[in-house]
Structure 1
Amino acid sequence: MIAPETRQAAGAALRRLDRLLAERPHEVHEDLSEAVRGIVCIRDDLIQRVRADGDGKDQLDRVNQLVSIAVGAEFPVTGLHWERVEKTRDGLRALLAAL
């Protein structure tokens, strides 16, 4: 179980990703950065849990993958990778359902 404020930040990140995918705006940096911050909140919460009792290692690995995918979508070599934004959103949704 993650902290309520962590779940709230993650929910906000998921809503931003949904909106980005629905609207596909030209400028995405601020929204995508905020979404990454929400995912990082989950990561930080899971790091504390893993350190405290070893529980949540698999989920921590999953959230680290989501951070990597999202950052890769935001800073690609060429163009924005919408499929990575979608992958991040879908992975976050699945992770939240499991927490």
Structure 2
Amino acid sequence: MSTHSRAPARGVGSAARLVALAADVLALIIAVWIVMYLLDANRSNEVVQWFHDAATWLAGWSYDLFSFGREWIQVVVGYGLAAVVYLLVGHGLANWLARR
């Protein structure tokens, strides 16, 4: 088999790895915010504010799907759901790309 015929397969593998990495990074941003929230990080700190803003934007679609009486549960479930979906969809797409 020539190297030319293997080039597309490597490209697909690279795309699959890139999709999985993107899903991991998105989920990590959300997870870091959840931990910062639970540890009562200083919200006036620029780094904490960046993670809060990024996680809020990423989880905007899932945060209010369910209502809980305690705010910490709302944060863990609302943001956590988004992180899990990003991981499942991202890695599912990456596996699909890798099999092509």
Please state which band the TM-score falls in when normalised by the shorter chain: 0.3 to 0.5
Q: Which structure carries more relative contact order (alpha carbon 8 Å, separation 6+)?
A: 2
TM-score by length of structure 2 reads 0.39
Structure with the greater alpha carbon radius of gyration: 2
